[in-house]
């Protein structure tokens, strides 16, 4: 056996043993879904607003936020973010003061204040979530981008070009609470609320003038509202009732709204705006749900926005099977049973655009029962595939899941994340930072590529089938000029290119095809001198590849996995990458915790603690299978 294969075998064994030891009794894996300091800050502000006596958690969150402050006084969303992040710094400053464990006279607070003022103060905060938290707690007026959208938009019929269900699922569950609060000009202060008035550097200029496209959207909404029948008062009351019911019908069993901490925090403020008592069971239960999302690691506590238990468990199960673990191994049996128990059996909002389809997807989080997504569904289906031929329960689950994934294909041939055909470009005209990424859920290269990879490698379907052909055509038509693809849910072009190339290969597109050649060559062109790959989170702000300057484990694994999939034999550059990947797993550098996931491009980045295990294990297993000795 060659030296590289000996190294690969040793690392596969080490990773596998580590994962076996970390599996929970219920068959799942529970790694941290780390989102920076944003959610931690919101929770402190919320708990102080509601006078919730959980001092241990508040102090832990305070200490973590303070520890993340940079010497210059600001906070960042990712390590190489230039000049700090104003929204993150405002959130942190506000939460530290509201906690009561930091004072305005403390040097870290004074440094933060100087940074915030130097960047224009509260009026220059770009994040709509930050703006909403500030408005809900009386620190600024509601932004025009929200307050100018009438609550009556909920009454517009589905046939109208602009209606509430044309927004993406994840934007709806955040927007609804903001619309309720803005409609009522709601805000709440307590005796403990910090005074942030000195952060209003230019209080006369807190809203920019809306763009012409935004005004066109407003005109379209008003045209629709004129068709509604009834007095203005009755119409408004009907809209308020519908908004409240929208929220109540989407609360999960753990009390959270759609299983997101961010939307749940906004929901609590919206319920207060609607007149709910602070001690109401819905609010109490929601607080418990948020509290349960805490994760303690390396002596620090954070609140996960949406724990990644299903995603991690599905991916790890599949990776261990690819590494050679038998289906009857206790680890696989336990994980598969856990996944089987979490398949969705009830229709959710996804069925509005995809009617007459039986439910069969999976969600991202354990408590998610109504918001499945294509990526989690294919991940779970990969994990249970080998158990389905001999077991009727898994076979039925597999068939339902496969049917659901196929039904989610968009009319343009690609696949979305959560909902079919929600690609109304007019909604991206909202005067909201990040609206282009949040307002709609269009076909994406990472979702389309991953779905094609699953369908090609696990169902035997290829371009002889029309829906596969349309999917491959979509990918080919959306390749960047340099040969890469943009990946919405990972960072970013490496992620998208990996997904696209592995998907095209699984669909039986030849290595000789120009599209595949360009994609593979792009990956070779951006390989680092040390043999690895690394991309900055700045890529998805600038919408072009930005090198990180260092190699990360997950991005190195993605690039290698794509090259392994399409290349008929290994190359010296690929072998160098394998050695760098293995070496990186023994290191404890900042690159190991660099966020390589995107929750909301430009505003919410994710460090998946599981990724340093999943993707290297998968890539090393694929290398061994393809280039190792044939049994």
Question: Catalytic residues, which ones?
Answer: 375
Q: What whole-number distance in Å separates Cα of residue 577 and Cα of residue 528?
A: 9
The contacts found for 15-22 with CB under 8 angstroms, 24 or more apart, are 15/323, 15/585, 15/613, 15/616, 15/617, 15/620, 16/320, 16/323, 16/325, 16/617, 18/613, 19/316, 19/320, 19/331, 19/613, 19/617, 20/331
What is the rounded (10 degree) CA torsion for 427, 174, 88, 423?
Answer: -30
Q: What whole-number distance in Å separates Cα of residue 161 and Cα of residue 158?
A: 8
Question: Closest Cα partner for 317 from 616, 606, 29?
Answer: 29
Q: Show the DSSP H helices in 256-391 as ranges.
A: 261-273, 281-291, 309-322, 330-341, 350-353, 374-384
Contact criterion met (CB below 8 Å) for 118 and 181: no
* Planar angle of CA 610, 615, 620, nearest 5 degrees: 135
Task: Give me 175's structure tokens.
Answer: 């927007």
CA distances from 322 to 5, 377, 432, 540, 605 (A): 16, 18, 43, 31, 28
Close Cβ partners of 106 (under 8 Å, ≥ 6 residues apart): none
Angle between helix 38-49 and helix 86-99 axes, rounded to 10 deg: 40
Q: What whole-number distance in Å separates Cα of residue 21 and Cα of residue 586?
A: 18
The backbone torsions φ and ψ at residue 169, rounded to the nearest 5 degrees and listed phi first, read -60, -45
Q: What whole-number distance in Å separates Cα of residue 58 and Cα of residue 65?
A: 11
The residue length of the chain stands at 631
- Tabulate helix, strand, coil % of the chain (nearest 5): 55, 5, 40
Q: What whole-number distance in Å separates Cα of residue 138 and Cα of residue 587?
A: 46
Per DSSP, 508 falls in state: T
């Amino acid at each position: 056996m060659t030296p590289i294969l000996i190294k690969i075998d040793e690392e596969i064994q080490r990773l596998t043993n580590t994962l076996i030891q970390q599996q929970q009794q219920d068959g799942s894996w529970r790694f941290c879904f780390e989102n920076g300091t944003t959610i931690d800050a919101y929770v402190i502000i919320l708990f102080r607003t509601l006078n919730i006596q959980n001092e241990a958690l508040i102090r832990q969150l305070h200490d973590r936020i303070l520890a993340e402050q940079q010497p210059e006084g600001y906070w960042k969303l990712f390590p190489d973010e230039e000049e700090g992040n104003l929204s993150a710094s405002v959130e942190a400053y506000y939460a530290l003061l509201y906690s009561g464990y930091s004072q305005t006279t403390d040097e870290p607070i004074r440094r933060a204040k100087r940074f915030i003022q130097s960047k224009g103060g509260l009026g220059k905060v770009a994040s709509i979530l930050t703006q909403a938290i500030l408005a809900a707690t009386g620190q600024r007026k509601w932004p025009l981008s929200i307050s100018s959208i009438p609550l009556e938009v909920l009454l517009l019929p589905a046939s109208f070009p602009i209606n509430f269900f044309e927004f993406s699922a994840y934007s709806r569950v955040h927007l609804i609470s903001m619309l309720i609060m803005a409609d009522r000009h709601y805000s709440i202060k307590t005796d403990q609320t910090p005074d942030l008035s000195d952060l209003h550097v230019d209080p006369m200029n807190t809203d920019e003038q809306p763009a012409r496209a935004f005004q066109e959207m407003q005109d379209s909404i008003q045209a629709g509202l004129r068709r509604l029948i009834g007095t203005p008062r009755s119409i408004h009351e009907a809209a308020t009732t519908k908004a409240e019911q929208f929220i109540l019908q989407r609360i999960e069993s753990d009390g959270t709204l759609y299983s997101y901490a961010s939307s749940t925090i906004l929901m609590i403020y919206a319920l207060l705006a609607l007149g709910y008592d602070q001690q109401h069971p819905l609010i109490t239960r929601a607080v418990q749900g948020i509290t349960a999302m805490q994760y303690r690691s390396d002596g620090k506590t954070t609140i996960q926005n949406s724990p990644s238990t299903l995603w991690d468990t599905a991916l790890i199960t599949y990776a261990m099977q690819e590494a050679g673990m038998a289906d009857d191994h206790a680890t696989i049996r336990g994980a598969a049973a856990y996944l089987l128990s979490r398949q969705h059996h009830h229709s959710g909002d996804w069925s509005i655009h995809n009617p007459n389809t039986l439910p069969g997807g999976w969600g991202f989080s354990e408590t998610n029962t109504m918001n499945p997504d294509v990526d989690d569904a294919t991940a779970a289906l990969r994990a249970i595939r080998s158990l389905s031929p001999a077991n009727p329960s898994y076979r039925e689950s597999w068939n339902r899941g496969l049917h659901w994934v196929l039904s989610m294909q968009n009319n343009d041939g690609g696949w979305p994340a959560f909902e079919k055909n929600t690609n109304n470009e007019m909604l991206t005209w909202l005067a909201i930072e990040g609206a282009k990424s949040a307002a709609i859920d269009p076909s994406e290269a990472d979702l389309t590529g991953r779905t094609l990879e699953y369908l090609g490698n696990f169902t035997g379907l290829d371009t002889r089938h029309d829906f596969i052909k349309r999917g491959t055509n979509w990918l080919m038509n959306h390749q960047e000029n340099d040969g890469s693809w943009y990946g919405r849910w990972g960072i970013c072009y490496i992620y998208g290119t990996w997904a696209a190339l592995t998907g095209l290969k699984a669909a039986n597109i030849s290595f000789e095809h120009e599209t595949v050649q360009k994609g593979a060559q792009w990956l070779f062109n951006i390989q680092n001198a040390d043999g690895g790959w690394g991309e900055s989170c700045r890529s998805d702000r600038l919408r072009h590849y930005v090198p990180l300057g260092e190699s990360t484990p997950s991005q190195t694994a993605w690039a290698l996995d794509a090259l392994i999939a399409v290349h008929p034999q290994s190359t010296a550059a690929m072998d160098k990458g394998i050695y760098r990947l293995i070496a990186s797993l023994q290191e404890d550098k900042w690159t190991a915790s660099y966020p390589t996931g995107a929750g909301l491009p430009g505003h919410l980045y994710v460090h998946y603690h599981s990724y340093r295990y999943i993707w290297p294990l998968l890539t090393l297993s694929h290398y061994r299978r393809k280039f190792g000795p044939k049994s």
